[in-house]
Amino acid sequence: MSNINTTGVDPTNMGVGRAIAVLTSGGDAQGMNAAVRATVRVGLYTGAKVFFVHEGYQGLVDGGDHIRPATWESVSMMLQLGGTVIGSARCKDFQTRDGRLKAAYNLVKLGITNLCVIGGDGSLTGANIFRTEWNDLLKDLVSKGKITKEEAKASSHLNIVGMVGSIDNDFCGTDMTIGTDSALHRIIEVVDSITTTAQSHQRAFILEVMGRHCGYLALITALACGADWVFIPEMPPDDGWEEHLCRRLTETRNAGSRLNVIIVAEGAINREGKPITCDQLKDLVTKRLGFDTRATILGHVQRGGTPSAFDRVLGSRMGVEAVMALLEATPETPACVVSLSGNQAVRLPLMECVQVTKDVTVAMNEGRFDDAIKLRGRSFENNWNTYKLLAHVRPPATKSNINVAILNVGAPCAGMNAAVRAAVRIGLIQGHNMLAVHDGFEGLAEAKIEPITWNTVGDWTGKGGSELGTKRVLPGKYMEEISLNIAKYNIHALVIIGGFEAFSGGLEMVQGREKYEELCIPMVIIPATVSNNVPGSDFSIGADTALNTITATCDRIKQSAAGTKRRVFIIETMGGYCGYLATMSGLSAGADAAYIYEEKFGIHDLETNVEHLVQKMKTTVKRGLILRNENCNSNYTTDFIFNLYSEEGKGVFDCRKNVLGHMQQGGTPTPFDRNFATKMGAKAVLWLTEKLKECYRHGRIFANTPDSACVLGMRKRGLLLQPLAELKEQTDFEHRIPKSQWWMKLRPIMKILAKYKISLDTSEHALMEHVISKKPPVQMTLTK
């Protein structure tokens, strides 16, 4: 790959003669270190000088030793640490013009004209004020004789790029802020632990989570643990909510549940704008219902701990994008924030985002709560709507006489049960009868079919594996039996949750329609596999959980290697022929290389990688981490690569190998997988309900058009249904992967962060987008 790319710009020279400073400000958030590390390494890769500013804006004002040059090695081993290594402080001095004058002086003296700020809305607003005053500050410094005219001319323009680091996810325009996913990990760990003790004693638990004036953490927690009620500042409960709440809790108990969970955001208010607190709720439930009630305020636990895989990848991707945005900025470009929308990197004008964020507060203060939810963005609104669907509705008295069957196919993965739960409950709310099929297509053929109820799936959200049971068997050889059972049980629609087998099994069922009329019913496939190899979706349920498992293991292995020094670990990951897990865990664990099937490699590449490690052992970072996808190459096996590295590294480093195996399929689902699965399950059944209305002819269901059998997937920014027949063209069936995969474009980032001088294609750009001009809504979005 040449170093010149399509734009004719050599990215390794883009930053020559430029200086970038990076600082973290405001409340800390897990993943800030990943962003700092990426900013430093990509900055150095482009030839720029990079400086750390210690202790946030305070360091910028105090200058001196607080602003220090950053090196490649100085950001090593930072990826897995929570908080921010370079320190953060809430700074009063920077809020005064005098303070900003000192900061400007410190930057000019070091020749720094590019500032990368990682923090919340307050920190980013401060950066923008600094930028707008920059020219005046320089004039003052020249007139006071602090700097020369030449120095002022050399630093005539200040570029600013922001990354939002905040566990609250309260910054409008960005789907996910750095730290939010990790905070959810901490919360869900606590909720899972509390659930077990609450069930032992039949208790009601009230949990207060952080988020200031934003209800995102509370809302996602409620979705991810199936809470009975959630209080969020954006949508206070209607008057008379006390009766409603007590009625709901009693109904849950009477239905056989042994616990109640109520989630409260710390900024929760009633319609009058008065706070709703844990203690208030505890008194209410204890006095009115006599339930044994406990309240827990989570506090700073949520900010702590190691960042999740998602936050590390997010921080790393944002760091790369921030450096590119800084180096491409002109005096005319507005200060921007880099962010994710779906899985797309985007650049947004900083002040537009700040404005919309302020608009939310205004809407809440004026009692325009529907507007507040809309202003938070489509992702927030969809989460709220899904929560309302699942929590606030009772199954109707009138039945639809529709029978919907649900099955799991392929290998088990975390999150399958959450999808089943959402599908079952939404189905019951629509008035359908829901049927559980055990053991996949084989169970459909052997009539392992039974009704599944509201309460059966009550606590399934947090359960790993597959409660229904799953098999890899395809339906092809059972068509006769399957069609008989569809007729016998009067099944009108199918929800098939699983991996590549669910996809190819769905295709076989569609082909079977020619011969068996019973198969002419609507079907929807929900991708669920650790491999993330189902065509039609950028993500599949279960992949995030597997990624976190691999990342946690790599962290421990790196720690061991750092202790012994001069050691290289070779780790084999799952994924079939799909390199998603190897690549993404490579990014989140800071690997030196990740071998995958999609990117062909030969003996020369292996030689380059070994030489790279030999050079690395001469630095202070004396350890290596190599990931290998299980099927990346039938000849270059894990043993072969281990032997090759051991031989070539003799006297320089020694090697160890680990095959991670089935631990990657187990474990409790991460918050992302719970939330994603819940939305997918709900959306699938809502779509089937509409499809069934279309296909109802002369008193029966008949569906044989291509669009009556679809994969429900996440594409770029929204949930999308695509006919199986169309996706067939986009699939490599021999290797069970989609022909094109979005995450391949992240591989260069991994290599650059591992110090390879390769070309970063800067032609595929995140363009500046606007937040304020109201565009027509695109399909339902979904992020974490």
Tell me whether residue 532 is annotated as binding.
yes
The verdict on whether residue 174 carries a ligand-binding annotation is no
Known binding residue 403? Answer is no
Q: 540: annotated binding-site residue?
A: no
- Specify whether the backbone of 200 is left (phi greater than 0), alpha (psi in -120 to 50) or beta: alpha
Beta carbons within 10 angstroms of residue 16's beta carbon: 11
Q: Is 464 annotated as a binding residue?
A: no
Q: Is 212 annotated as a binding residue?
A: yes
CA distance 52 to 40: 8
Contact call for residues 137 and 100 (beta carbons, < 8 A): yes
**How far is Cα of residue 31 from the mean position of the Cα atoms in its chain?**
12
Longest dimension (CA), the chain: 92
Give the C-alpha separation, 710 to 506, whole Å.
9
341 within 8 A of 538, measured Cβ to Cβ: no
For residue 168, indicate whether it is catalytic: yes
Is 700 buried (19+), middle (13-18) or exposed (0-12) by CB count in 10 A? exposed
Q: Is 166 within any annotated ligand binding site? A: yes
Is 736 within any annotated ligand binding site? yes
Rounded Cα–Cα distance for residues 367 and 553 (Å) = 48
Name beta bridge partners: 43. Answer: none
User: In Å, what is the CA distance from 158 to each residue of 119, 132, 329, 350, 627?
Assistant: 18, 9, 10, 15, 41
Residue 663 annotated as binding?
Answer: yes
611 among the known binding-site residues?
A: no
Return d(Cα 417, Cα 580) in angstroms, integer.
23
Residues 143, 137: Cα–Cα separation, whole Å: 10
Q: Is 168 annotated as a binding residue?
A: yes
764 marked as binding residue: no
Q: How far apart (Å, rounded) are the C-alpha atoms in residues 15 and 2?
A: 18
Is 5 annotated as belonging to a binding site? Answer: no
Whose CA is closest to 22, among 185, 139, 165, 216? 165
Alpha carbon separation from 313 to 79, 179, 385, 388, 585 (Å, rounded): 10, 11, 28, 31, 9
Q: Is 58 annotated as a binding residue?
A: no
Residue 271 in marked binding region = no
- Beta-carbon contacts of 737 under 8 Å, excluding residues fewer than 6 positions away, are 533, 576, 577, 578, 597, 598, 731
665 assigned binding-site residue: yes
Bridge partners, 208 (sequence order): 264, 297
Cα(213)–Cα(358) distance, integer angstroms: 11
Is there a binding annotation on residue 294?
A: yes
Query: Does 311 appear as a known binding residue?
Result: no
Check the annotation: does 574 bind a ligand. yes
* DSSP category for residue 594: E
* 8 A C-beta contact, residue 583 and residue 596: yes
Instruction: Confirm or deny that 162 is annotated as ligand binding.
Output: no
Q: Is 481 annotated as a binding residue?
A: no
Residue 27 in marked binding region: yes
The two three-digit tokens of residue 672, written as one number: 């992302």
Which residue in 168, 170, 544, 673 is the catalytic one?
A: 168
CA–CA gap between residue 715 and residue 721 (Å, rounded): 9
Does residue 576 have a known ligand-binding role? yes
The answer to the question of whether 90 is labelled as a binding residue is yes
Q: Is 120 annotated as a binding residue?
A: yes
Identify the bridge partners of residue 407 per DSSP, sorted by sequence position. Answer: 437, 496
Is 121 within any annotated ligand binding site? yes
Q: Is 744 annotated as a binding residue?
A: no
Q: Helix H segments across 515-637?
A: 543-564, 580-589, 603-616
Residues annotated as binding site for ATP?
27, 90-91, 120-123
Residues annotated as binding site?
27, 90-91, 120-123, 166-168, 203, 210-212, 266, 294, 300-303, 472, 529-533, 567, 574-576, 630, 656, 662-665, 736
Residues annotated as binding site for beta-D-fructose 2,6-bisphosphate?
472, 529-533, 567, 574-576, 630, 656, 662-665, 736
Active site residues: 168
Residues annotated as binding site for Mg(2+)?
121
Residues annotated as binding site for substrate?
166-168, 203, 210-212, 266, 294, 300-303
